[in-house]
Amino acid sequence: MAPPIAVCNRGSLARHGIRIALASPAPESESAPPMDPRNQKVMVHVGGKIVPRAEAKVSVFDSSVQGGDAVWEGLRVYRNRVFQLDAHLERLERSARALAFEKIPTRDAVRSALFETLKANRMTDNVHVRLTLTRGEKVTSGMDPRNNQSGPCLIVLAEWKPPVYGTGGLRLITSTVRRAPPSVMDSKIHHANLVHNILAKIQANQAGVDDAILLDVDGFVAETNATNLFLVSKGELHTPTADHCLPGITRSVVMQLASKIAIAVHERRISLAEFHTADEVFTTGTMGELAWVREIDGRKIGEARGAVTGRLCELFAATVGREGATIPA
Ligand SMILES: Cc1ncc(COP(=O)(O)O)c(C=O)c1O
């Protein structure tokens, strides 16, 4: 049997002869991350057609342009399989229903569009897919969904993209931007209104670190601008409740894996001091899988990936290597 594929690194780009910056203990955040040149020529599924990247466009009347009125998912393809496909399709559909989209495409229709796109690009591994469903084109500009009369627009954007974080450990800061409570913007809707996250990421970039932690309105840790957070204390896992963070699919997989190896998992409100003084901290997300955290707000968490994080990374690698929806021939 083939060994589990590498996760928690971006080494696979090098296999394609692409020069990348090696992960360093204190990653530079001043320049944009490296790009795989093959992505210049990808075929994109948009509005029911598969077209070359240069022609992949939505109307200026599209709801995503007018108001960020769209829902989305990020998925990964490993060894000819799409990991956690059903969970992503379910979250996409539920997000669209929560936003009262009309004529939501069926999960089967989205699945077919995804597979068609992967086939058109001959993509079977090391691929990240951004699925976006916008409320669609409006008959006139404005925010009123009654101006949407032609149904949603599905975008399937697949790119060659290994996990985005290096192996040297992440450096985080705490952002001044708060994660909105459900009364403002429910984190259980995976919407494309990402300005809060982008503002937090700008703060991280300006501070020269990898990402930023958003607190909830009461000052408890919610998540980072792009990932869920876990800490390890006395051998047990703790993660913020999903009241103020996206109930991430990687988060849920990690919680199941931990339970399988008898590591206790606690979902609760967690203060920043607990993260600052944790034995280990790691982030989870489809884009970057599991990534260990070296430093938060200048406090050292660890010099190397911790034992519990390492064990979960190994189990995650084995899981993505064997589970997922097979891309039909
Ligand atoms: C804000 C935020 N938190 C967490 C995640 C991780 O979620 P998942 O594991 O489902 O990719 C994402 C991914 O889109 C995100 O945008």
74 touches ligand 1 (CB under 6 Å): yes
Question: What pLDDT was estimated at residue 35?
Answer: 87
pLDDT tens for the chain, 329 residues: list them. Answer: 333 333 334 434 333 333 333 333 444 445 677 789 999 999 999 999 999 999 999 999 999 999 999 999 999 999 999 999 999 999 999 999 999 999 999 999 999 999 999 999 999 999 999 999 999 999 999 999 999 999 999 999 999 999 999 899 999 999 999 999 999 999 999 999 999 999 999 999 999 999 999 999 999 999 999 999 999 999 999 999 999 999 999 999 999 999 999 999 999 999 999 999 999 999 999 999 999 999 999 999 999 999 999 999 999 999 999 999 999 99
286 CA distance to ligand 1 middle (Å): 7
248 touches ligand 1 (CB under 6 Å): yes
Q: How far apart are CA 42 and CA 56, in angstroms?
A: 10
Write out 179-222 in H/E/C secondary structure.
Answer: CCCCCCCCCCCCECCCHHHHHHHHHHHHHCCCEEEEECCCCEEE
95 touches ligand 1 (CB under 6 Å): no
226 touches ligand 1 (CB under 6 Å): yes
227 touches ligand 1 (CB under 6 Å): yes
Question: What pLDDT was estimated at residue 30?
Answer: 54
Q: How far apart are CA 323 and CA 82, in angstroms?
A: 8
15 CA distance to ligand 1 middle (Å): 27
- Say how far residue 127 (Cα) sits from the centre of its chain: 13
241 CA distance to ligand 1 middle (Å): 14
Closest residue by CA, ligand 1 atom 15: 226
Q: How far apart are CA 61 and CA 142, in angstroms?
A: 9
Question: What pLDDT was estimated at residue 207?
Answer: 98
CB of 190 within 8 A of CB of 154? Answer: no
Within 8 A by CB and 6+ apart from 32, the residues are: none
Question: What pLDDT was estimated at residue 6?
Answer: 35
With the most atoms of ligand 1 within 8 angstroms of its CB, the residue from 191, 195, 286 to mutate is 286
| Nearest ligand 1 atom, CA 286 | 11
CA atoms within a 13 Å half-sphere pointing along the CA-CB vector of 159: 18
283 touches ligand 1 (CB under 6 Å): no
| Nearest ligand 1 atom, CA 197 | 1
223 CA distance to ligand 1 middle (Å): 9
248 CA distance to ligand 1 middle (Å): 5
Closest residue by CA, ligand 1 atom 16: 226
Whether this prediction's pTM lies above 0.85 is answered by yes
229 touches ligand 1 (CB under 6 Å): no
Question: What pLDDT was estimated at residue 226?
Answer: 98
Q: Read off the DSSP letter of residue 91.
A: H
CB of 161 within 8 A of CB of 16? Answer: no
Q: Express each pLDDT in 224-283 by its tens digit.
A: 999 999 999 999 999 999 999 999 999 999 999 999 999 999 999 999 999 999 999 999
Question: What pLDDT was estimated at residue 155?
Answer: 98
Closest residue by Cα to residue 38 from 160, 127, 164: 160
Cβ neighbours around 198 below 10 Å, total: 10
Question: What pLDDT was estimated at residue 97?
Answer: 98
In 139-153, which positions are buried (b, 16+ CB within 10 angstroms) versus exposed (e)?
A: eeeeeebebbeeebb
Question: What pLDDT was estimated at residue 149?
Answer: 95
Q: Express each pLDDT in 311-320 by its tens digit.
A: 999 999 999 9
Closest residue by CA, ligand 1 atom 6: 285
Question: What pLDDT was estimated at residue 2?
Answer: 36
Closest residue by CA, ligand 1 atom 1: 226
Q: How far apart are CA 267 and CA 222, in angstroms?
A: 12
